[in-house]
Structure 1
């Protein structure tokens, strides 16, 4: 602000540059939030629809294998008689034990996936709460700031144009007044002349009457 109370607008490019930086910041912030949300969402979805579903299916399949192993063991045990002797069921028991251990592994895997899914959902909820302000900045505050800068630039450009036009008009007026003043000053300094009488010739002098009181 100048001493006369007028704004000193030196360069509008600085404001335009800052507006560009602000727009870039808003776009980067928005893209970063969207990318983070997408990555976390994919991780949760992978655990839920891929891993958890996979181990649920494995549990069902391994339960079926246990039932098959039990059936084979039972049939083997029913073969023969106490009199003739019972056949060995060692292999059938091993298959049953292997199927049971495989089922236990699948159950632990399922519980682990559920545990990480639940933990990730809690962390994601906390993340959303802590970054909600950043989302507000990107979605609301930055656009409002850009719009305010646009209005400021429009007003300043109008101010500069009006001031420039007024200065041009004032300069033209002062130049015209200066020229008129110089012309008036030049005319006032010209000398004033009066018409002089033509010289008297000898013939005209002899014809003039003598002055009274003069000798004849």
Structure 2
């Protein structure tokens, strides 16, 4: 009986955790969707305008630095051409800053393309996860409820335990003569038939979530002013 009780508790725990997982998944998907929309909008609209303004100012800086150097060169000192080292350094710095801003402009375009491409892949995986949560999870929970009821009846001695069938849901609902380990066998069948197939979908979704979060953070770090 202890093994049977443990088996019952395991199914009850899985049932409860599936319900929690479904709610957490929906909440997490919705929360991350909001974060994605915010960052994508920032990359596609805020950053282009921001770095366009920075490039314009950088051009002005180069123009001003060139004017300063030109004025310096116009006034010889003791009939000698001035070095104008300070003005030359300022011009070099202004040109480097302009190159930096133009590179950021290009990075904005690349990030916009990358995020849109990754978002397409991400949404595909999330659709599979949401389908599992909204369709498969309630079905499995209902089946687990039936299994739990059958186990409760068996443990209380009101009915004999079912032998494992080809389908675990069928096994949970039929009541042929009891065997000592029938509920452990049903538990194993339940996990194999209904829980294990969820694992690849969950793993794929978690991988996509982790990748998307990393990309969002990297984009924000890269495109900050």
TM-score by length of 1: 0.47
Larger radius of gyration: 1
TM-score by length of 2: 0.45
Q: Write 1 or 2 for the structure with the bigger share of helix.
A: 2
